[in-house]
Amino acid sequence: MENIIFHVDVNSAFLSWEAVHRLQQGETLDLREIPSAVAGDKNKRHGIILAKSTQAKQCGVQTGEPIVDALKKCPNLTLIPPSHNLYSQYSKAFTDILSDFSPCVEKCSIDEAYCDMTGMEALFGSPVEAAHKIKDRVRNELGFTVNVGISNNKLLAKMASDFRKPDMAHTLYPSEIKSKMWPLPVGELFFVGKSTVKKLNTLGIYTIGELANTNVEILKAHLKKHGEVIHCFANGIDASLISQEEVKNKGYGNSTTISFDVEEESTAKMILLSLADTVASRLRSDDMMANVVSVSIVDSEFRNSSHQTTLLSPTHRTDEIHKAACSLFEELWDGSPIRNLGIQTSKVVANDTARQMNLFSFETDEKREKLDQAIDKIRDRFGTSAIQRASLYKKPEQEKIDKE
């Protein structure tokens, strides 16, 4: 049976949810019908546009740009502070509806999710019919709109959901790639940021189709592993599966929104070390180990990307988690300025679970285990700042992170 995957994306989520909530509270003005935007505190790092109305977009307002720049383009822009608790409520209501249509829903962010609709035709009709039923029910019951992308894998479904908006359903099956996806600018491809676009343009690659038909060895020579990944994506190849699995303990992860744009790999890896140190310490505190490590990146354009790997054996050591995170980062990062980094672990097991030992590094591994334990004891007694790893000591970047 051929897979059928939906990607369901809320249109202008934060702004839509603010608008619906205010209308339910008795307001007569719909924020979606005027130049408006949800934005953070303009005096802080978060003083940027988080979501915008169609009218604001027509004025040139862009998600992720500073408020001051947005106001220059649209002086009559109505600004709304974010209400994260409200957004969580609407997000849950949204995914609850999706769960009525699919037994397998993967929530990939607060406003988007994947649904495995394979074999559901007998209940909801053809994939296009089912997509319209989902989006119409969300609109009628919750008051906001979504786009639904339909395909055989997650990548193409996500690409399809980004086609014409709002309140639309689109297909992008492998047979439609050449006509629907290849003519698009290469920057429209998932995982291709601004810096990658510049590199591709210097190679004479301007469309997704040109990328798809470029020799992958040329791409690897200029973009390393990332070149191979986007070449697969340009050809519609994506082997990732929809997963409902939730992390058993959400505390075994950490992320940070950075007060400056990270553009150097060394700085990013230093931040990952700080995050790995915290995550590993929490695992050890609960006497647990992790089998899976994942890294997430949010760039300055609010593009979200993540990647995970299964370890050879479970661990709660800082150096092992950091090593895995750095390897994932190298595969994931396209060079775009970074505003948020995160490390998450999953498939956690008790510390007494049998693990694969390396005969050639047994003594070194044992010493590192004892070192981590010693660091934990010192911090438990004298505070987390009592001892630091040398690579983090008095780094200006770390000082900025600590203030966040």
Q: Is 112 designated active site?
A: yes
Q: How many CA atoms lie within 13 A of 358 on its CB side?
A: 11
Q: What are phi and psi of 374, to 5 degrees?
A: -65, -40
Residue of 112, 228, 369, 397 with catalytic role: 112
Q: How many CA atoms lie within 13 A of 104 on its CB side?
A: 13
CA–CA gap between residue 194 and residue 369 (Å, rounded)? 41
Query: Angle formed by the axes of helices 362-382 and 265-285, to 10°?
Result: 80
Neighbours of 120 (CB within 10 A): 17
What residues act catalytically?
Answer: 112
